[in-house]
Amino acid sequence: MKTIRTAAVIGSGVMGAGIAAHLANAGIRVRLLDRVPDRLTPQEEASGATTASPAVRNRLATDALARLLKTNPAPFYEERGSRLVTPGNVEDDFESLRDADWIIEAITERLDWKKELLARIERVWTPGTFVSSNTSGISIAAMAEAIAGPMRAFFLGTHFFNPPRHMPLVEIIPGPDTDAEVVTAMRDVLERRLGKGVVVAKDTPNFIANRIGTYGLLATLKLMAEGGYTVDEVDAVTGPALGRPKSATFRTLDLVGLDTFVHVANNVYERTDDPAEKEAFAVPDVLADLVSRGRLGEKTGEGFYKKV
Ligand code: NAD
C-alpha cells in the first residue's frame, strides 16, 4: 500500500479546508481544489479582474485557507515555515490529482455532484491511490456506482467531524468493493498520522454519529417550537448545563452550515419508508426558510446567529 506523502482535497468549504490543514499539520503536502467562482466580487470588478486571472480562479480555496489562518493560531498548516497547502481549482488543476497518494472528496452533500466528480477522478486515477468521501451520510455504495474499474477497491468513506482539527472521531465506511487492506491502511493513516480515533461504520443512511446527532438536533428544534423557547434559552440548556462545550444546538447548526444540515436530514428522510422516521427527520420550516434566504450559518455570516 502507498505511503501518503501528498493528498488532494476537493471542496474547500467548512470541511475541506479544515481537513487539508489538518493533513498539512501532519506533514502531508496537499492540493486544495474548489470550483472557479461563477461571478466576480465587487472588489474584483473594481480592480478590472476577469475570471481568467488565477487569483479569481483559485479564490474559493485561497479565501478558505485565509479564513482558517485568521481563526487558528500560527503555525496552523505550516511545517518548518513552508506552506504545505496549495490552493487551486478543478478546471485548471485536475491533472494534479495524478500525483496524489490520497484524494478526498469534500464537496457539497449531493449524490449527483459527487458521482459526477468520482467519474471524473477515475479518468485521472493512478493505481494505488486512495479515494475517499467525506460525506455525512450519503450511501457509499450509491456513490461507487459512478466508478467502473479497479478504483472501486480503493474507494471508501472517511467521515471527519467539524472542526476536523479538534474533533477526534473519523468514521470509516467501506464500500461494496473496498479492499480490506485499503481499510486497514486508511485506519493506520487516520490513527497514527492524523491522531484520530476511528470507528468503522456500516453504509447505513448518515452512518452512526450523524444518525443520532441529526435526530437529536431535529427533535430539539421541534420541542423548542412546541414549548415556545427562544434560541438563547435552548442553547443555554443544551450546552454547558448538560456538560457540553458552549457550542450547543443553534451554534452547532450555524457551525455545520444549515444547507448541509438539511441535506444530511434528507439523507435519512428520503431513504426510509418508516413513517416514524419520516416524521423525525422531516426538516422544520424554520430551517428551510433560513436556507431559502441564504442564511446558511457561519459560512455566510448569518444563520440563527449573526457573526460579529
Ligand atoms: P460547504 O458547503 O461548506 O462546502 C462545499 C464546497 O464544495 C464549496 O466550497 C463548493 O464550492 C465546493 N464544490 C461543490 N461542487 C464542487 C465540485 N464539483 N468541484 C469542486 N468543488 C465543489 O460544505 P461542507 O460543510 O464543507 O461539506 C462538505 C462535505 O462534508 C459534505 O459531504 C458534508 O456533508 C460533509 N460534512 C460536513 C460537515 C459539517 O459540519 N459541515 C461535517 C462532516 C461532513
Whether ipTM tops 0.85, in short, is yes
Sign for the pseudo-dihedral over CA of 19, 21, 27, 31: positive
What is the reported pLDDT for 51? 87
Q: How close is the Cα of 11 to the center of ligand 1, in Å? A: 6
Cβ(36)–Cβ(57) below 8 Å: yes
Alpha-carbon distance values, 271 to 72, 207, 277 (Å): 38, 13, 10
Q: In the CATH scheme, what is the homologous superfamily, with its name and number, of domain 6-200?
A: NAD(P)-binding Rossmann-like Domain (3.40.50.720)
Cβ(255)–Cβ(162) below 8 Å: yes
Cβ(239)–Cβ(248) below 8 Å: yes
pLDDT at 130 over 60: yes
Residue 94 binned pLDDT confidence (cut-offs 50, 70, 90)? very high
169 φ, ψ (degrees, to nearest 5): -80, 135
The domain 210-300: what is its CATH number? Answer: 1.10.1040.10
DSSP structure string for 150-199: GGGGGEEEEEE-SSTTT--EEEEEE-TT--HHHHHHHHHIIIIIT-PEEE
Q: How close is the Cα of 259 to the center of ligand 1, in Å? A: 10
Residues with Cβ within 8 Å of 122's Cβ and at least 6 positions away in sequence, in order, are 146, 147, 148, 149, 151
The average pLDDT across 36-58 equals 90
Cβ(246)–Cβ(232) below 8 Å: no
Q: Which residue lies with its CA nearest to atom 4 of ligand 1?
A: 13
Q: Which residue lies with its CA nearest to atom 20 of ligand 1?
A: 34
The average pLDDT across 105-111 equals 97
Least reliable range by pLDDT among 41-45, 118-122, 271-275: 41-45
In angstroms, the CA 62 to CA 169 distance is 27
Question: Which residue among 14, 93, 217, 266 has the greatest number of ligand 1 atoms within 8 angstroms of its CB, and so is best to mutate?
Answer: 14
Q: How close is the Cα of 239 to the center of ligand 1, in Å? A: 26
What is the reported pLDDT for 73? 64
In angstroms, the CA 205 to CA 85 distance is 32
R_g over Cα of the chain: 20
In angstroms, the CA 166 to CA 195 distance is 10
Q: Which residue lies with its CA nearest to atom 29 of ligand 1?
A: 106
Residue 231 binned pLDDT confidence (cut-offs 50, 70, 90)? very high
pLDDT (tens digit per residue) in 54-71: 899 999 999 998 888 777
pLDDT at 81 over 50: no
What is the reported pLDDT for 264? 95
Cβ(5)–Cβ(96) below 8 Å: no
Q: Would you list the domain boundaries of the chain? A: 6-200, 210-300
The average pLDDT across 29-41 equals 94
In angstroms, the CA 200 to CA 186 distance is 11
What is the reported pLDDT for 71? 74
Q: Which helix (H) or strand (E) holds 114?
A: helix 111-124
What is the reported pLDDT for 176? 97
**Ligand 1 proximity of 290 Cβ (cutoff 6 Å):** no
The average pLDDT across 154-180 equals 96
**Ligand 1 proximity of 299 Cβ (cutoff 6 Å):** yes
Higher pLDDT, 274 or 307: 274
**What share of the chain has pLDDT > 70, as a percent?**
95
Q: What is the mean pLDDT of the chain?
A: 92
pLDDT at 74 over 90: no
**Ligand 1 proximity of 236 Cβ (cutoff 6 Å):** no
pTM over the 0.90 mark: yes
